[in-house]
Amino acid sequence: MLRRTSRATLTGAAALALAAGAALAVVPQASALAPASADSAAVRHGVMTTVQQAAQNRAHRAATSANTLSYGGGTGGVGVNDGHSKVYLVFYGNQWGTQSTDSHGNATFSKDPSHVASPTQQMFKGIGTGSEKWSADLTQWCDGAVAAGATSCPSNGSFVPYQTGGVLSGVWYDNSAASPSAATGHQLGQEAVKAAAHFGNTTAASNRHTYYVILSPHGANPDSYFNNYCAWHDYTGDSTLTGGAVTSPYGQLAFSNQPYNTDMGASCGVGFVNSPGTLDGWTMTLGHEWHEMMSDQFPAGGWTNASSGEENSDECAWIAKGQPGGAANVTMGTAGTFAEQASWSNDTNSCAITHAILH
């Protein structure tokens, strides 16, 4: 999900960072995964729950509140990503193995058993191509001339534009050392700062529309995600990061924790849309967190549910294919077809897997 939440299937207790090069955590078998507790300690923004927790959250929300999102007033003046998104992928740690290049020009890695690397790059290349309408839901959200607490945007708001032509802006394999086997949120934020320097984004202005996806290797347990959640997004200045906020000399940075969540099996969406569907949950979590970052760049200054704290994709997480607002395969130009979930739309009062392009 994409909210500040107690450690449910989305969160885990703050993990102690292990030294670089420490042994990887044992990967749990999908059959052994139990639904996570809904009342553990830590808080995180922008967390995507496991499949089990999403059902509990929907039942609670139906009993207590509506889905409508309202504007949070901005964080340092920033509510949404109101430009062309620049997505940078950071393959974190030398545990990814040897890097190669495939026929699409994408980076691939010898220690990537689920073969997630190339589809990740293809998906972000494909957003905003082939007239796909999955991302068009975002064009209703704005910041700027909009009051805190508003549930719709004025015509003079600064809107999220349709992301024509793809959003992938760079790929970096940081194999300078092994990534920690249980990186804290603080360490993941530090990696985002390191990536900003690598890509030459060394001013606040150059990072206004950036997003750093920190991809941990197979077997790692970043921010104690095992059995707790599937991914999250946040920003470097958030004091609730495990290990504390991160000082960035380049302005606040939006980033995500993208664990190698195929290791979690069905709890993180393997087989959720397709059969065998190894990458279903992988692309859904990537899409979920990107959608939420676009509408709530530095949580929770953007658009969230005032009652639950949930973001646009949280409210539609893990709805089964064929159900209203359910997950589906989305074709993006020539980049390919990817399993994605719907995101909440105030203007249609629904979970929208497709939406008109408004801006």
DSSP secondary structure letter of residue 311: -
Q: What is the mean pLDDT of residues 153-176?
A: 98
Measured at the CA of 265, the angle between CA 192 and CA 327, to 5 degrees, comes to 80
Backbone dihedral angles phi then psi of residue 242, each to the nearest 5 degrees: -60, 125
Question: What does the pLDDT read at residue 35?
Answer: 30
> What predicted TM-score, i.e. pTM, was given to this entire model?
0.87
Q: Is the per-residue pLDDT at 10 higher than 90?
A: no
Per-residue pLDDT of 200-219, as tens digits, reads 999 999 999 999 999 999 99
What's the rounded Cα separation, in Å, for the pair 164 and 359? 11
pLDDT tens digits for 110-160? 999 999 999 999 999 999 999 999 999 999 999 999 999 999 999 999 999
* High-pLDDT (> 70) share of the chain, %: 84
Q: Name residues whose C-beta falls within 8 Å of residue 353's C-beta, 6 or more positions apart in sequence.
A: 134, 325, 326, 327, 328, 330, 340, 341, 342
